[in-house]
Structure 1
Amino acid sequence: MRKRTLGPLLVLILLVPTVSASGQTLSPTPGPVITARAAEQADERHPADRRKVILDADMGELNDDAVTMFMLAKHPSVDLLGVTVVSGNTWVEEGTADALRQLELIGRRDVPVVAGAGEPLMPGRKVRLAAENALYGKAPWAGAFDSPRPPAYDRLPRPPYGGYPSTHPSTSAAADFIVNQVKRYPRQVTFLEVGPATNLALAVRTHPEIVPLVKEVIYMGGAFDKPGNITPAAEFNWWFDPESARIALRTPFPKQTIVPDDVCVKVRYTKAQYDAITAGAPTPVKTMFKDLQGPMFAADPRRSTFLWDALTAAVFLDPQVVKTSQSRYVDVDASFGPDYGRALGYGLDEFSAPANPVGTQRATLILDLDMRRFWDLYIGLLRRP
């Protein structure tokens, strides 16, 4: 397969990303000084025996990102350090409001919500989208690009489910939050990347010293051995910001795992699972499911949907859910054209490494799951009080 390179302009931009795509200046210095008492209180909130994770998501209203957040927030052995929000399926302002409000509804106001990149890393992505549509046909779904960007998280075209949140997002940039948490808990933090990778790319470009300190990055993204779900070549997350996905995947993290669309299309959520989740005594999550999904299943009991990001949470929460995986060197096509955003996988053994594109990293692709184990975990967590 022909190697593809990024142009000189991209190289210059990627080397000096001091301002986030949302316009926030990224600090080149470590986080604020923490007093002994503050550190003690922080340790009380983040017990050492819990698995530490940051969720980076293009959050929506009870979408797969939100359900992923619920799964992490309700698992007794998980320390959800924070939710960083990025534009993708929704604008960052919408995702921030949805994350805050939904955490309020489940009683997890303690989890920080941090607004991140509002636009893809490279300027002009929306302009290139118009060119893509003209040249190769209109994408069936462009996420945030399908609607105007709101001015603020508390000034949306319509308020979130249950009204605007009473809590507020963190004042730091998402990339800075990521850096500070990784430095605070070296080799303990897993990063669940279930949206476009803009925040992660900004974090590692401004603070490359955190790379060996990250425990693992688990992505929901890419379509390797099947057509994409947005274009014939590309899956949505990596298509929305191919440059950031390429940066993240080429970063030498200690461990990278990918839950691609290849496995996501094997799992369909139906009325049977909806009924199992909503049965019994009411909880805030059950009420939300009934209010937002109940009318849809009433109108069409045979409807079904994919769960995408929730599979990523399951792989993190219970590695035994994985039945089949494969190791490959991975990359993303960031050259404008019909393959823009395509996931690329190379080499199945160490000896093929010289034939792989320079700079690619090895990752584990999840290709099949234990469905019974997955549904037990998924339904069980969403039914928890």
Structure 2
Amino acid sequence: MFPIRFIFCKSIIAGFILLLVFPASAVKVIYDTDMGIDDWSAMLVVANHPDIELLGITSNGAGEGHCEANMRNIPDLLALSMSPDVPFACGYHYPLDGYFAFPEPWRKQADTLSGVAVPPSARQPSKVNAVELLHQLLSQQDEKVVLLTAGSLTNIALWLQKYPQDKPLVSRLVMMGGGFDAPGNIIVPGFTTDHPNKKAEWNIYVDAIAADRVFQSGLAIEVVGLDLTNQVKVTAQYAQRFKAQVKAEAARFWDQVLDDNDWFIESGEYYFWDVLAALVVADPHLCQGDMQPVWVEYQHVEKGDKWTDKNMPPMTESGQPRRHYDPATFGITHIGGDNPPVKICRHTEPQVAFDRLIEILNIEVEAR
């Protein structure tokens, strides 16, 4: 009888530990990321947040990071968190259509984690691609899941196309992207100074076709766009405050990233983008807004210009000729039209967001 009681007690203890790690009220989340600079802190938030159960991470090569580098960097950063073992995969390497991409220096920074060294992980990506991993993870759950997107919506659009039956398995899609009353962020001094697009936001701009399909989908979307993120600016004072409170490895990593990007902070152009969307997942009150239909603008043109990425293949993932679009209008988000209404986040609580990031990244991870 002793072995039976021992096994029974071990099961109770194991269940109790799981409850401590993931409380019954924990939000199940799949994180879709392009692994740009702000995605790293967002990933550490969802991997460390006591009210989130991270199920897996999907990525693609259409945003800031390239797939090969993303598949190295994701497990390395996860090893600094409370969720080191979740599955991860990459998807399509290019946008669904068009020839637009992030500036190459930004992509190099994404691929190298801004030059901040972290211990390499031996973990390998899933044997299936990002769309298949999304489908598998959703199908395995007995409750609805939140999708958090912090990059182009390429993976989500392809998943919706292949597995439309999965939509009821998603409770919310919280996305960082777009903007309405706020000015766009495509024009960045020193990188895209003479760019003609003054209204779009980068995550939508690089794959506007994917974004438009997602806004048509009927998913319960919450748009954490520039109207919201511009309220949470990262300042030198905040970076100093963060540094003074560093305790855990995740926080130490992010502190080094902030040090390496002091020039970015000093430019006054650095905000809580993806990390604010990650915080909204667990704290919905950080998104106060209204319901409106949204559509995405794109206009075909005959040929490309200086903003065309000539390294992209001439054929799309669907086997169609890749088309050129007007860079001045591509990816601009508009309110109106016939799409199902989505929640547009208008107001947040900046101090709460600042405090939450410090708290969550400083959660101590037990040695493994």
Are the aligned partners of 2:34 and 2:150 in contact in 1 as well (CA < 8 Å)? yes
CA pair 163-269 structure 1, distance change in 2 beyond 3 A: same
Cα distance change of structure 1 residues 366 and 210 upon mapping to structure 2, 3 Å threshold = same
Establish whether residue 53 from structure 1 lines up as the match of residue 29 from structure 2: yes
What is the RMSD computed on CA atoms of the aligned residues? 3.0
Match of 1:244 in 2: 210
TM normalised by structure 1 equals 0.72
- 2:57 paired residue among 83, 86, 108: 83
- State the number of aligned residues: 309
User: Cα offset for 1:281?
Assistant: 6.1
* C-alpha distance in 2 between matches for 1:53 and 1:228: 28
Q: Does structure 1 conserve the Cα–Cα contact (< 8 Å) formed by 2:76 and 2:118?
A: yes
List aligned pairs for 1:1-385, cutoff 5 A: 49-60=25-36, 63-87=37-61, 88-106=63-81, 108-122=83-97, 125-126=98-99, 129=100, 142-143=102-103, 161-162=117-118, 164-185=120-141, 187-230=143-186, 231-253=197-219, 255-280=220-245, 282-297=247-262, 302=266, 304=268, 305-322=270-287, 324-335=288-299, 336-337=325-326, 338-346=328-336, 356-357=337-338, 360-385=339-364
Cα distance in 1 between the residues matched to 2:27 and 2:178: 26
Aligned to 1:138: none
CA gap of 1:333–1:302, structure 2 versus 1, over 3 A, is: closer
Paired letter, 1:215: S
How far did residue 379 of structure 1 move?
Answer: 1.9
For 2:233 and 2:284, the matched residues in 1 are separated by 20
Q: Could you state the TM-score of these two structures normalised by the residue count of structure 2?
A: 0.75
Following superposition, the deviation at residue 50 of structure 1 comes to 2.0
Evaluate the alpha carbon distance shift between residue 207 and residue 101 of structure 1 in structure 2; reply closer, same or farther with a 3 A threshold. Answer: same
Question: 1:228 deviation in Å?
Answer: 1.8
Runs of 4+ in 1 over 6 A off after TM superposition: 44-47, 145-148, 156-160
Mapped contact 1:179–1:210 kept (Cα < 8 A)? yes
Per-residue CA deviations over 1:51-93 (Å, capped at 9, x if unaligned) read 1001101114xx2111111111111121000111122012122
| AA at the equivalent of 1:239 | Y
Q: 5+ unaligned residues in a row in structure 2: which ranges?
A: 1-13, 187-196, 300-324
Partner residue in 1 for 2:311? none
Look up the SS of the partner of 2:356 in the other structure: helix
Instruction: Tell me by how many angstroms 1:282 deviates.
Output: 3.5
* 1:160 shift after superposition: 7.0
SS of residue paired to 1:105:
coil
The corresponding residue for 2:192 is none
Secondary structure at the residue paired with 1:215? strand
Matched AA of 2:330? Y
Q: Please tell me the residue identity of whatever aligns with 2:228.
A: V
Q: Name which of structure 1's ranges 64-73 and 288-297 shifts more when overlaid on structure 2.
A: 288-297
After TM superposition, give the deviation of residue 302 of structure 1 in Å.
4.6
Measure the CA separation in 1 of the matches of 2:236 and 2:75. Answer: 27
| CA apart distance, 1:260 | 0.8
Q: 1:186 to 1:208 in 2, by over 3 A?
A: farther
- The AA in structure 2 aligned to 1:326 is D
> In the TM superposition, what whole-angstrom CA distance separates every residue of 1:82-105 from its partner, at most 9, and x where no partner exists?
111122012122222221211123
Asked if 2 retains the 8 angstrom alpha-carbon contact of 1:278 and 1:289, the reply is no
Q: Percent identity?
A: 24
Residues 198 and 275 of structure 1, relative CA distance in 2, 3 Å threshold: same
- Contact 2:222/2:342 (<8 A) preserved: yes
Matched residue type, 1:174: A
Q: 1:372, 1:236 → 2: CA distance? A: 25
> Per the alignment, in what secondary structure is the counterpart of residue 291 of structure 1?
helix
Task: Check conservation: 2:47, 2:82, Cα contact below 8 A.
Answer: no
1:339-369 per-residue CA deviation (whole Å, 9 max, x = no partner) reads 11111111xxxxxxxxx33xx1210000111
3-state SS of 1:273 partner: helix
Partner in structure 2 of residue 3 of structure 1 = none
Change (3 A) 1:280 1:369: closer
* TM-aligned CA distance change 1:84 to 1:342, over 3 Å: same
Where does the alignment leave 5 or more consecutive residues of structure 1 unmatched?
1-39, 130-140, 347-355
Q: Which shows bigger deviation, 189-198 or 280-289?
A: 280-289
